[in-house]
Amino acid sequence: MAQKPNSIVHVEIHSNAPEKTKSFLKDVFGWKFEDMPQMNYSMFQPPSAPGGGLQQAENLPAGILDYVLTEDIENTLRKITSSGGAVKMPKQEIPGMGWFAVFQDPTGITLALYEAQAPPRPARKAARKAPKRTGRKAKKSSKRSR
């Protein structure tokens, strides 16, 4: 099933003790984690979507950060600020995946945006040529009446 814009597509857990949190979630829920050491991050996928990530709480407080899918992150950030929200972390690239930004609504709730990188378009196939016809004509079937 394709992800639809304005849906929550990723859940990020910020922990002060990521390894302890990971162990707890494995024990309690049976979640499997895939470590991404180059990003100091672990991805997880529960039995149903959305999946998410686990990381050390650094720029944000320990807790949960939900990511909302958008088709145009810059336009959505403009809507957020014109509607009374505030950008907490501007648009940043996730290499090979897309972009994200973090914002707060007017009441202080923190959420994130995610814009997926457009998948590469497949090369267009050359138009198929119609088979060449030879000079022979198809025989007509004749029906004789009796």
96-118 confidence digits (pLDDT tens)? 899 999 999 999 999 999 999 98
Percent of all residues in the chain with a pLDDT value above 90, rounded to a whole number:
59
pLDDT for res 120: 57
pLDDT category, 1, cuts 50, 70, 90?
very low
CATH domain 66-119 topology: 2,3-Dihydroxybiphenyl 1,2-Dioxygenase; domain 1 (3.10.180)
Burial label, 70 (beta-carbon count in 10 A; 0-12, 13-18, 19+) = buried
CATH architecture under which domain 11-64 falls: Roll (3.10)
- Predicted confidence (pLDDT) per residue in 11-66, tens digit: 999 999 999 999 999 998 888 999 998 888 999 988 777 889 999 988 778 999 99
Burial 19-57 (b: 16+ CB within 10 A, else e): eebbeebeeeeebebeeeeeeebbebeeeeeeebbbbeb
What end-to-end distance do the CA atoms of the chain give, in Å? 63
Other Cβ atoms closer than 10 A to 104: 15
Query: Does this model's pTM top 0.85?
Result: no
Structure tokens at 11: 């859940």
The CATH 3.10.180.10 domain(s) of the chain lie at 11-64, 66-119
